[in-house]
């Protein structure tokens, strides 16, 4: 991990802001902007500020770690695509609603909204032999989509980050075997991110005429509607589903069908042979027959996850980050006493806080240190807004010790540094 390990809040750009931007409707929009994690350039277009990028990098690391365990390899593909490659599968026309297409010097291009065609082109160009399969490659990159409604904060961007994985196989059986490995990997990823997901059957959209599987977080603020069984794992998106609330479950017949709004955080597609057939990605089997490759693709939206975490974990004071992706493990707050006339007293306090800051770093704790000249009220409000799970206060009242407070609790405790480090390392 190369991202910065420690930080003095006096140096962080930008600082928190008191008011949510006018027009912001969703919680993730309001809180992430106020806390200084993201900034909006125009509808659907966001800057990940240093704090926001740090959370997304942690989300990405979790995804990367679990995908690498399945044998997938990371690469990075271009975002500017020639029209010709999209014409090979008919998606220049078929997906033109969602694609940003444009002309420059008489040549036509699209900005990437996905990469199936690019991956199939890579494979066919490299003259792979049957021994080379399966091929599993993924990247983290920007996707551009002409979304009609881009109003749910960072949940729906016109330009957003996606991790997309593609796998190519000789047989359907092998594709389905890996497809199920990826479902298991996704479930681990979402569990580590602190998100409870349902695996939901859905249509394949502009990707395939077959069904797909979505990973949905049930919440009233979601844009999707899902039906699910209260007793088994049956779940369908309402766009395809024939069931309705209160029905007996068509799968287990014991349970009842319930419904909920949901946020789609991942979507995987068993694409079949259509892409390989249209683009001429074949291999020759043992009997000398030409056979098309089987393809599947698998998406997760890290920036949508950033917003989803805020929708799921917040209170009226601000964000509450899960331990696994919190931008820092600890928020160290130093409170100067404005009533104390003696400069000497306050500079002693500062030395103590600096010392604690350094010792925490040496112990491997990622710490945000609020070293500003500001009131206790302002620093505490900012700590609650930013949402780091552990707050450590050093003030006149703590007399050489540390006041420990969890973001989700009201009680405080006085601890020695050793004990605080022990707890932070366990978290
Ligand atoms: P939706 O139904 O929400 O429009 P989608 O089904 O079109 O999304 P996919 O093509 O399945 O999206 O993309 C894979 C993943 O990328 C989604 O599960 C989601 O996490 C993320 N994603 C898709 N569209 C957006 C977007 N506009 N902004 C942010 N993340 C997105
Ligand atoms: Mg989808």
How many Cβ atoms are within 10 Å of 60's Cβ, its own excluded? 18
Residue-level pLDDT at 3: 66
Residue 302 pLDDT more than 60? yes
Homologous superfamily, domain 330-426: Anticodon-binding domain (3.40.50.800)
Taking the centre of ligand 2 as the mean of its atom positions, its distance from the CA of residue 296, in whole angstroms, is: 14
Residue nearest to atom 3 of ligand 1 (CA): 264
pLDDT at 340 over 70: no
**C-beta atoms surrounding 111 within 10 Å:** 17
Mean pLDDT, residues 198-220 taken together: 93
β-bridge partners, 134: none
CA angle at 224 for the pair 220 and 230, rounded to the nearest 5°: 70
Domains in the chain: boundaries? 22-317, 330-426
Res 4 pLDDT > 70: no
21 within 8 A of 342, measured Cβ to Cβ: no
Nearest CA to ligand 1 atom 23: 301
At 375, list the tokens.
């009131």
Q: Exposure of 18 by Cβ count < 10 A (0-12 exposed, 13-18 middle, 19+ buried)? A: exposed
Q: Is 279 helix (H, G, I), strand (E, B) or coil?
A: helix
pLDDT 10s digits, 239-277: 999 999 999 999 999 999 999 999 999 999 999 999 999
397 CA distance to ligand 2 centroid (A)? 53
CA of 314 to the centre of ligand 2 (A): 26
Distance 146 CA to ligand 1 centre (A): 12
Question: By CB neighbour count within 10 A (0-12 exposed, 13-18 middle, 19+ buried), where does 295 fall?
Answer: buried
22-317, superfamily in CATH?
Answer: Bira Bifunctional Protein; Domain 2 (3.30.930.10)
Tokens describing residue 333: 């707050």
Tell whether the model's pLDDT for residue 205 goes beyond 90.
no
- Closest ligand, as measured to the CA of 299: 1
C-alpha R_g of the chain: 25
Average pLDDT rounded to a whole number, residues 340-351: 80
CA-164 nearest atom, ligand 1: 14
Residues lining ligand 1, CB < 6 A?
145, 147, 156-157, 160, 162, 205, 264-267, 299-301, 303-304
- Pocket test residue of 186, 202, 299, 303 for ligand 1, highest count of atoms within 8 A of CB: 299
Proportion of the chain above pLDDT 70, given as a percent: 98
Residue of minimum CA distance from atom 11 in ligand 1: 267
Look at residue 369 and tell me whether its pLDDT is greater than 80. Answer: yes
The encoded tokens of residue 108 equal 């036509």
Shortest-distance ligand to the CA of residue 115? 1
Query: Which pLDDT value is given to residue 301?
Result: 98
Question: Is cis: bond before 136, omega within 30 of 0?
Answer: no
User: Do 287 and 253 contact (CB within 8 A), yes or no?
Assistant: no
2, pLDDT greater than 60:
no
The pLDDT value recorded for residue 344 is 80
CA-closest residue to ligand 1 atom 12: 267
Q: What pLDDT was estimated at residue 346?
A: 83
Mean pLDDT, all residues of the chain = 95
Spatial separation of the C-alpha atoms in residues 296 and 173, rounded to whole Å: 12
Average pLDDT over residues 21-40: 97
Question: Do the beta carbons of residue 400 and residue 352 sit within 8 Å?
Answer: yes
Confidence label for 6 from pLDDT (cuts 50, 70 and 90)? low
pLDDT surpasses 80 at 99: yes
User: Which ligand 1 atom lies nearest to the CA of residue 301?
Assistant: 20
Residue 49 has pLDDT above 80, yes or no: yes
pLDDT of 85 higher than 70: yes
Instruction: Report whether pLDDT(371) > 70.
Output: yes
Band of pLDDT at residue 345, cut at 50, 70 and 90: confident
Closest ligand 1 atom number to CA of residue 214: 18
Nearest Cα neighbor of 268 from 184, 156, 191 is 184
Q: Is the CB of residue 320 less than 8 Å from the CB of residue 389?
A: yes
Put residue 153 in one of left, alpha, beta given phi > 0 → left and psi -120 to 50 → alpha: left
Residue (of 313, 310, 305, 312) closest to 162 by Cα position = 305
Work out the pLDDT band at 342, boundaries 50, 70, 90: low
Mutate to test the pocket of ligand 1, among 162, 207, 298, 310 (most ligand atoms within 8 A of CB): 162
Which helix or strand (DSSP H or E) is residue 303 part of? helix 302-312
Distances in Å between the Cα of 325 and the Cα atoms of 39, 53, 62 are 20, 11, 9
pLDDT at 338 over 80: no
pLDDT digits (tens, 9 = 90+) for 58-78: 999 999 999 999 999 999 999
Asked if the domains at 22-317 and 330-426 fall in one CATH topology, the answer is no
């Amino acid at each position: 991990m190369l991202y910065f390990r420690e930080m003095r809040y006096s140096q962080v750009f930008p600082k928190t802001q008191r008011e949510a931007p006018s027009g912001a409707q969703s919680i993730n929009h309001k809180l992430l902007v106020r806390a200084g994690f993201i900034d909006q350039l125009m509808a659907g277009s966001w800057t990940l500020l240093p704090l926001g990028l740090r959370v997304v990098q942690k989300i990405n690391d979790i995804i990367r770690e679990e995908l690498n365990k399945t044998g997938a390899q990371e690469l990075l593909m271009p975002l500017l695509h020639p029209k010709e490659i999209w014409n090979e599968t008919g998606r220049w026309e078929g997906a033109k609603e969602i694609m940003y297409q444009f002309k420059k010097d008489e040549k036509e291009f699209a900005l990437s909204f996905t990469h199936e065609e690019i991956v199939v082109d890579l494979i066919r160009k490299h003259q792979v032999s049957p021994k080379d399969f399966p091929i599993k490659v993924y990247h983290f990159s920007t996707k551009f989509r002409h979304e009609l409604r881009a109003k749910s904060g960072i949940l729906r961007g016109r330009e957003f980050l996606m991790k997309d994985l593609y796998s190519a196989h000789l047989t359907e059986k092998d594709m389905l075997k890996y497809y199920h490995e990826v479902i298991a990997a996704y479930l681990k990823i979402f569990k580590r991110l602190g998100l409870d997901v349902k695996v939901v059957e859905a249509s394949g959209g502009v990707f395939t005429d077959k069904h797909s599987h979505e990973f949905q977080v049930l919440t009233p603020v979601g844009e999707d509607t899902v039906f699910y069984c209260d007793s088994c794992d049956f779940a369908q998106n309402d766009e395809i589903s024939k069931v309705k609330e209160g029905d007996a479950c068509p799968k287990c017949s014991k349970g009842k069908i319930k419904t909920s709004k949901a946020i789609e955080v991942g979507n995987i597609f068993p694409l079949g042979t259509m892409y390989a057939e249209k683009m001429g990605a074949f291999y020759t089997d043992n009997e000398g027959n030409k056979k098309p490759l089987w393809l599947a693709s698998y998406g997760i939206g890290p920036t949508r996850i950033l917003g989803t975490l805020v929708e799921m974990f917040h209170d009226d004071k601000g964000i509450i980050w899960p331990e696994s992706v919190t931008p820092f493990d600890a928020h160290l707050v130093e409170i100067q006493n404005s009533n104390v006339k003696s400069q000497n007293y306050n500079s002693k306090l500062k030395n103590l806080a600096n010392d604690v800051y350094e010792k925490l770093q040496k112990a491997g704790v990622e710490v945000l240190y609020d070293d500003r000249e500001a009131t206790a009220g302002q620093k505490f409000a900012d700590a609650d807004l930013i949402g780091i799970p552990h707050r450590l206060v050093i003030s006149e009242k703590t007399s050489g010790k540390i006041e420990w407070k969890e973001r989700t609790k009201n009680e405080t405790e006085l601890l020695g540094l050793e004990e605080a480090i022990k707890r932070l390392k366990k978290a």
